[in-house]
Copies of this chain bind each other. A is one copy, B any other.
Amino acid sequence: MSNIVEEFNAYRSKMNEKILADNNKIIKRIFNLDTNAFAEGALDKRTKELLGLVASTVLRCDDCVRYHLEESHKVGLTKDEVAEALGIATLVGGTIVIPHLRRAYEYWEALEEIT
């Protein structure tokens, strides 16, 4: 099942490269900001990844959820911590979040299988 991690990352990298090769200044800067916004600051990286995860979940963006799950996994957040964040997202965003919750759990499981 860990294929979903590889597939997602391969597609994401390939298309990001094409987008950035396009030299659209606004889009390039937004991509750049995206890297900076999640760097250590007044808040630590762990908290920021959870913020990115919850924002992505309530806005129901599966690819964004996957990205932040992966980053959350890398910085050592536990499943309990991630699940609690997802619980808040489901409460705030409502039951329409549940299908994304299913895919988030599936992706987290795949992330754990790789390591």
Contacts and interface: CB of A to CB of B under 8 A. Distances in A.
23 contacts: A12-B102, A16-B102, A24-B84, A25-B36, A27-B86, A30-B33, A33-B91, A37-B88, A42-B80, A42-B81, A43-B50, A47-B50, A51-B88, A52-B92, A55-B55, A55-B96, A56-B92, A59-B92, A61-B96, A64-B96, A90-B94, A93-B96, A94-B95
A93 B54 CA distance: 12
Interface of A: 11-12, 15-16, 18-19, 22, 24-27, 29-31, 33-34, 36-38, 41-43, 47-48, 50-52, 54-56, 58-64, 78-81, 83-99, 101-103, 105-106, 109
A106 B54 contact: no
Contacts of A92: 52, 55-56, 59, 64, 94-96
A34 B64 contact: no
Contacts of A26: 33, 36-37, 84, 87-88, 90-91
Contacts of A101: 19, 27
Given A88-B37, A91-B33, A51 B52 contact: no
